[in-house]
Structure 1
Amino acid sequence: MAKTPLDPSSSMAALYGVHLKRLRERRGWTQHDLAARVFVSPGRVAQLECASGARPTAELTRALDDALDAAGLLVDRWPHVYRESFPDWARRFMELSERAIIIRLYAAQAVPGFLQTEPYARAVLRRGRTLTSAHMLDERVAARMARQERLQGVGAPALSVVLDEAVLMRPVGGHTSMRDQLVRLREACTQHTVQVLPFSSGAHPLLGGSLTLLTMPDGSETAYAEGAEHGQLFEEPDDVASFNRAYDQLRAESLPVAMSVQMIADAAEGYRHGGSERRALARKQLQQRSGRRVRRGGRRPSRGRSGA
């Protein structure tokens, strides 16, 4: 019985597979031929052409595109294939993120994906509850690294980040990984607005979750609230306004930018020496300085969002 041809309209993975097979056959190559050129098994090529198994990684897609001289055809379709594995609301959020001109983040547990090093990202994503294979981990890491390109070049969005102090204290991936991540984060402070929300600030409206606020070219705003086991996209103006107020409160209660940068640098140095005592001392010193500044009547950071 003849095998039913793959319907390219059934999914983005199917469309990708149809293009891949067509490009391969146009060159007169077998699946073994193509596999040898991109250093994967023939079975992996067969999976991609049949839209079965793990989705392609960004790295594999670039290799296939180059080998087949596809002029970016496969590379352009890869983000859509990747997003297809997410629920509708998550795909909507990812699409909005790619068009946003201002991105404001509160990160409660980990460095935001936009600013992660690859080893740190791999350590975070390896713990994902829905992770089922090494291929899936590679795919997620590649996607996270690819999204960082959004912050480069003309048209890059303005980025403002509030980091909970817990982000600096949790050694994700070990001390070396954490040190390198904090050095990267410190370097990012020269390009983006980064503040640390100290433990001493106490309870706040976003306890237990993280938040992303997106401002679009037309001025409209969207909020994405995320917890350990869930995420939710908010587009109603009243909901977004409530999250804006919460974010502004967090910025007002955070350390000023210069003190935040110093805390990040001190934390990185602490990991360099593997010493939790050094990090604790640096945290205590910065918080004491912050307390003295407030008692002297020093101003908190502006609650406005123009610094995003």
Structure 2
Amino acid sequence: MPSVEQTLPTGAALRRLRVETGRSVKEVSEALGWSSSKLSRIETSLSRVKPQDLALLLDFYEAPQDLRSCIGALLQHPVPRSRKTGDGVPDVYERYARLEEQATHISMYAAVVVPGLLQTPDYAAVIITNTTPTPEHHLARTRMQRRMLRQAVLGRIPPPRIDVVLDETVLRRPIGDPAIMRRQMIRLQELSDRPEISVRIIPLRAGAHPALTGPFAILDFPEALRIPSHVWLDDLAGGVLRDRQTDVDRYRQSFAALDELSLGVQESAEVFASMVAGAEPNI
């Protein structure tokens, strides 16, 4: 039986098709007589879609023949992924990405760069190029594609609640040229306008705080899925996922402390706007 990793492209393609047709998970599930959890598991590749279910979905979406052929080929001939160390996308990162797709609430603290979920392609490209070892440069494109694919969660219906705290150093560290930084600030400004997303800045003058050990993300899930909350710690080796309750509680307390120390949403948005206009961050 193909692994979950092998079926990822099919689920992602079906999710994109549903979003492009403007339909919700609930609407499609009810029309096909399915539970919402069945469709969600297909789209997040936690369940392999059966050929008859794939046909029902493609008919419902009125998918053109060329698209049907492409998605059918993904199902019949999944691309195997290497299990060797140094693969383009580490297995733990794939597990995190699948969990992220199902989360209803994502809380992120960024200490060094803008979180991948919010990055523009050119900002992400600079980071991936500079953090990929020379022997693995041929894998940079794969990593870039996977990072951008993760951002499909921002278009999910209903969207997850996303709360982000950026350290002031994230804004002061130039990633690429000024044009790249400007486009990234525009992106943060646009995201801040969405009601389900808050992006706030913790100023350097706040001094020491509980998250000085580095960036992290907390993922919370619907009760119906019975998935425990997870904490994601990113690093050069691929990252670490933790779901022990005591660990999650510790990071949740840290995020609450950051929340108290951060600027408000509107004040932070004004900083992004001033940087778009070419000013240095005045915090």
TM-score of the superposed pair, with normalisation by structure 1: 0.62
**Alpha-carbon spacing, 1:9–1:148, altered in 2? closer, same or farther (3 Å):** closer
Aligned length: 220
**Corresponding residue of 1:126:** 129
Unpaired runs of 5+ in structure 2? 10-64
On the 8 A contact 1:131/1:137 being kept in 2, the answer is no
1:193 matches 2:198: yes
SS at 2:209's partner residue?
coil
Alignment of 1:240-259 (within 5 A): 240-259=248-267
Alignment of 1:91-102 (within 5 A): 91-102=94-105
Unpaired runs of 5+ in structure 1? 1-7, 17-64, 271-277, 287-308
Which of 132-141 and 119-128 deviates more?
A: 132-141
SS at 1:223's partner residue?
strand
Could you say what the CA RMSD is over the residues aligned between the two structures, in angstroms? 3.3
Q: 2:148 aligns with which of 142, 145, 148?
A: 145
Q: How far apart are residue 253 of structure 1 and its match?
A: 0.2
Q: Percent sequence identity over matched residues?
A: 31
Counterpart code for 1:245: Q
On the 8 A contact 1:209/1:228 being kept in 2, the answer is no
**Corresponding residue of 2:209:** 204
Q: Deviations over 1:92-125 (max 9, x none)?
A: 3222112111111001111111111111010010
TM-score of the superposed pair, with normalisation by structure 2: 0.68
On the 8 A contact 1:212/1:225 being kept in 2, the answer is yes
SS at 2:277's partner residue?
helix
**Corresponding residue of 1:164:** 167
On the 8 A contact 2:93/2:238 being kept in 1, the answer is no
**Corresponding residue of 1:58:** none
Q: 1:215 aligns with which of 212, 220, 240?
A: 220
On the 8 A contact 1:116/1:181 being kept in 2, the answer is yes
Counterpart code for 1:194: V
Q: Deviations over 1:115-159 (max 9, x none)?
A: 111110100100124463554111111111111111104132111
Q: Distance in 2 between matches of 1:154 and 1:144?
A: 20
Highest Rg: 1 or 2?
1
On the 8 A contact 1:210/1:227 being kept in 2, the answer is no
**Alpha-carbon spacing, 1:157–1:179, altered in 2? closer, same or farther (3 Å):** same
